[in-house]
C-alpha cells in the first residue's frame, strides 16, 4: 500500500493564483482531512470529510475549498493565493472518525510570493 | 484552537538518556495521541491512550494520562539519534483531533 500520497511536494505561487493540492489514499479510509502547519503553531485543521460527498469546515477554512467525489481522493483548492497561505500542508486519513489514529501524507510545502 | 500544549518546547539530551515531555489540555477527552515528526516529513502515530487508561507502553515509549490534572507525559527511554524529531500530542475535540505546537527533541551522539 502507498498509504497517503500528496502532490506536489513543493510549489511556489504568486499572489492571486489558484491551484489544487492533491491527496489520495489507498486504505479505504472514510475520514480524510487537510491540515496546515506553521512554525510554533502545530497543525490546524482546514477542512475534513467523513465520506464521499460529505465535507465540512475545520478551524481555518477561509481561502480553501474541498470536494470528495471518491473515497480515495480529497483535493484542496486555493482559490486566490495569499502570502498568509505560505505553509506546509498535510493530508491525513483514518478508518473511522477524526479522533481515530491519523495516517499522514508527506506534505506539500507551499510558498506564496 | 489548540487544545493541547506540550512542554518543554525543546529538549536536548545525550544518546542513551531518557527524554520526558508533557502535554496539558483544557477540556475533557476520549483519547489522547502522540505523534512524531522527523524533519520535513509527515507525522507518524506513536501511541493512543484512552481516557480510562492511566499508562501505556510501546517499545521504548511510555505514556501516562492523568485526567484529573488534564495532562499526559511521553517518556522515551534509552534515546537514540534516530529519536531526534518533534513530538506532538493530539486530543480529540468534537470528534476531530487538535494538535499542540510540539516538543523538539535533539539527541546528541
- Work out the mean pLDDT of chain A and round it to a whole number: 94
Q: What is the pLDDT of residue B2?
A: 54
Among residues 18-37 of chain A, which lie with CB inside 8 Å of chain B? 33, 35
The string of pLDDT tens digits covering residues A31-52 is 999 999 998 778 999 999 999 9
Q: What is the pLDDT of residue A2?
A: 86
Q: Residues of chain B whose pLDDT is less than 50?
A: none
User: CB–CB of A105 and B30 under 8 A?
Assistant: no
Our CA angle for B63, B33, A7, nearest 5°, is 135
pLDDT grade for A24, boundaries at 50, 70 and 90 = very high
Nearest C-alpha of chain B: how many angstroms from A58? 9
User: CB–CB of A59 and B1 under 8 A?
Assistant: yes
Distance separating alpha carbons of residues B97 and B41, to the nearest angstrom: 19
The string of pLDDT tens digits covering residues A54-75 is 999 999 999 999 999 999 999 9
Q: Are B2 and A42 in contact (CB under 8 A)?
A: yes
DSSP per-residue string spanning chain B: ---EEEE-SEEEEETTS-EEEEEEESS--SEEEEEEE-TTS-EEEEEEEETT-SEEEETTEEEEEETTTTEEEEEE-S--GGG-EEEEEEEEETTEEEE---EEEEEE-
Amino acid at each position: 500500500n502507498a498509504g497517503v500520497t500528496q502532490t506536489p511536494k513543493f510549489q511556489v505561487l504568486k499572489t492571486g493564483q489558484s491551484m489544487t493540492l492533491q491527496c489520495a489514499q489507498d486504505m479505504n479510509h472514510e475520514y480524510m482531512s487537510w491540515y496546515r502547519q506553521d512554525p510554533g503553531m502545530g497543525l490546524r485543521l482546514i477542512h475534513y470529510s467523513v465520506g464521499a460527498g460529505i465535507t465540512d469546515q475545520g478551524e481555518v477554512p477561509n481561502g480553501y475549498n474541498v470536494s470528495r467525489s471518491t473515497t480515495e481522493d480529497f483535493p484542496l483548492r486555493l482559490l486566490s493565493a495569499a502570502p498568509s497561505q505560505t505553509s506546509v500542508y498535510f493530508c491525513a486519513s483514518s478508518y473511522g472518525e477524526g479522533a481515530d489514529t491519523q495516517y499522514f501524507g508527506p506534505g506539500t510545502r507551499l510558498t506564496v510570493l | 484552537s489548540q487544545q493541547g500544549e506540550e512542554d518543554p518546547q525543546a529538549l536536548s539530551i545525550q544518546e542513551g538518556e531518557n527524554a520526558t515531555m508533557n502535554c496539558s489540555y483544557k477540556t475533557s477527552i476520549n483519547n489522547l495521541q502522540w505523534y512524531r515528526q522527523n524533519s520535513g516529513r509527515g507525522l507518524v502515530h506513536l501511541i493512543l491512550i484512552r481516557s480510562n487508561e492511566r499508562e501505556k507502553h510501546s517499545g521504548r515509549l511510555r505514556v501516562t494520562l492523568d485526567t484529573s490534572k488534564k495532562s499526559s507525559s511521553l517518556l522515551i527511554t534509552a534515546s537514540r539519534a534516530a529519536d531526534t524529531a518533534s513530538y506532538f500530542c493530539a486530543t480529540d475535540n468534537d470528534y476531530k483531533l487538535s494538535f499542540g505546537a510540539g516538543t523538539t527533541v535533539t539527541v546528541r551522539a
